[in-house]
């Protein structure tokens, strides 16, 4: 049965994306995707490689424009603005202040020749902070929240393990207390035990801060652990969405049934 519009949740969604389409030449990477995320909840996006899930995340991080569609973020001063219509400087300001992202590959999110604390502080410098003591203090706080071992805060990321690099990325992503947190395969490639610890940190953050989170992963275990709701993508389109346990235990679409049953 088709579900009804929200009735108990009367707040506006923090993030609303409508009819996003993104083409690369003749390839339609993202095809008419709409989604909403509320503060305090986590939306998972699953799908195989090439399904468009990472492209959706890049669009929501305002890294590249959509060819069609709009994105609104319910934060002061921008609530009704399609963020793609902003000029470059303003768009960058929204991205720095209100959106944090953790990439699967730490090289994408970190400068490897800058210390870990420097990587986190950079975010605050971009937001206009210049005082050294304040920067250092804020970087330390954010690394502590991400459960990074502080005695190593002045090490270069290149010298850190994969799990620690992800914690630096996370510290950087949450340094300015963003309203929206984007996680692109945040634990893929980590050892299973390290993965568990990083997931635990993410769950604690979810609980302590009312962030709206989107997590992209092909790992259904990660999605089951972190996500309240999930969206299944295939060939750029959304084929199904629902509560995480419902989509994984009672999938409706033929593709989702295949995806769920392919899991070992």
Partner 1 sequence: MTLLEVHSLAKTFHIHHLQREVPAFANVSFTLRAGEFLLVRGPNGIGKSTLLRCLYRTYLPSGGSAMYESRQGVIDLARAADVDIAQLRRTEIGNVSQFLRPRPRVSALDMVAEPLLAGNTAIDESRRMAGDWLADFGLKSDIWQAYPTTFSGGEQQKVNLARALIAPRRLLLLDEPTASLDAGARAALVSRLAQLKNQGVAMIGVFHHPEDVAKLVDGELQLRVH
What does the binding site for partner 1 look like in residue numbers (CB under 8 A)? 1-9, 38, 41, 192-193, 196-197, 199-200, 207, 225, 228-229, 241-243, 245-246, 249-250, 252-254, 257-258
3-state DSSP percent of the chain in helix, strand and coil, to 5 = 40, 20, 35
Element (H, E) at 117: helix 116-126
Nearest CA to 229 out of 205, 212, 207, 245 is that of 245
Closer residue to partner 1 in complex, CB, 119/244: 244
Q: How far is the CB of 104 from partner 1 (least distance, A)?
A: 20
Helices (H), 191-233: 192-208, 220-226
Nearer to partner 1, 134 or 258 (CB): 258
Residue 246, SS3?
helix
In the complex, least distance from residue 201 CB atom to partner 1, rounded to whole angstroms: 11
CB of 243 to partner 1, least distance (A): 5
Report the nearest approach of partner 1 to the CB of residue 114 (Å).
30
Output 123 or 167, the one with its CB closest to partner 1: 167
Among residues 94 and 190, whose Cβ is nearest to partner 1?
Answer: 190
- Rank residues 127 and 196 by Cβ distance to partner 1 and give the closer one: 196
User: Taking the complex as a whole, how short is the minimal distance between the CB of residue 197 and partner 1, in angstroms?
Assistant: 6
Residue with tokens 């490689």: 49
What are the distances in angstroms from CA 222 to CA 95, 166, 230? 26, 15, 12
Toward partner 1, which CB reaches closer, 9 or 158?
9
Whether residue 190 contacts residue 161, with contact meaning beta carbons closer than 8 Å, is answered with: no
Which whole-number Å values give the CA distances from 77 to 23, 80, 180, 252, in the listed order? 30, 8, 16, 40
The CB-of-164 to partner 1 minimum distance in angstroms stands at 16
Rounded Cα distance between 76 and 103, Å, is 27
Strand order in the sheet with 99-102: 99-102, 180-184, 212-216, 42-46, 229-234, 237-243
Closest approach of Cβ 193 to partner 1, in Å?
7
- 64 within 8 A of 23, measured Cβ to Cβ: no
95 or 225: whose CB is closer to partner 1? Answer: 225
């Amino acid at each position: 049965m088709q579900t009804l519009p929200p009735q108990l949740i009367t707040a506006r969604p923090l993030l609303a994306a409508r009819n996003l389409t993104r083409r690369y030449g003749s390839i339609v990477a993202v095809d008419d995707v709409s989604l909403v995320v509320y503060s305090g909840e986590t939306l998972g996006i699953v799908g195989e490689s090439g399904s468009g899930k990472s492209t959706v995340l890049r669009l929501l991080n305002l890294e590249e424009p959509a060819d069609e569609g709009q994105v609104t973020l319910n934060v002061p001063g921008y609530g009704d603005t399609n963020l793609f219509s902003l000029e470059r400087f303003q768009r960058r300001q929204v991205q720095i202040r209100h959106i944090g992202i953790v990439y699967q590959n730490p090289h994408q999110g970190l400068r490897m020749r800058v210390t870990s604390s420097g990587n986190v502080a950079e975010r605050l410098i971009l937001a206009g902070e210049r005082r050294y003591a304040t920067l250092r203090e804020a970087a330390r706080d954010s690394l502590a929240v991400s459960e990074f071992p502080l005695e190593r805060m002045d090490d270069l990321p290149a010298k850190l393990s994969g799990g620690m690099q992800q914690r630096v990325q996370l510290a950087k992503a949450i340094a300015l207390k963003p309203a929206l947190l984007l996680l692109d395969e945040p634990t893929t490639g980590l050892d299973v035990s390290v993965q568990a610890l990083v997931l635990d940190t993410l769950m604690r953050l979810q609980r302590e801060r009312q962030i709206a989170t989107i997590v992209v992963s092909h790992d259904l275990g990660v999605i089951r652990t972190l996500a309240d709701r999930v969206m299944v993508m295939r060939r750029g389109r959304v084929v199904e969405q629902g509560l995480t346990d419902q989509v994984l235990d009672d999938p409706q679409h033929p593709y989702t049934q295949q995806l769920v049953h392919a899991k070992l």
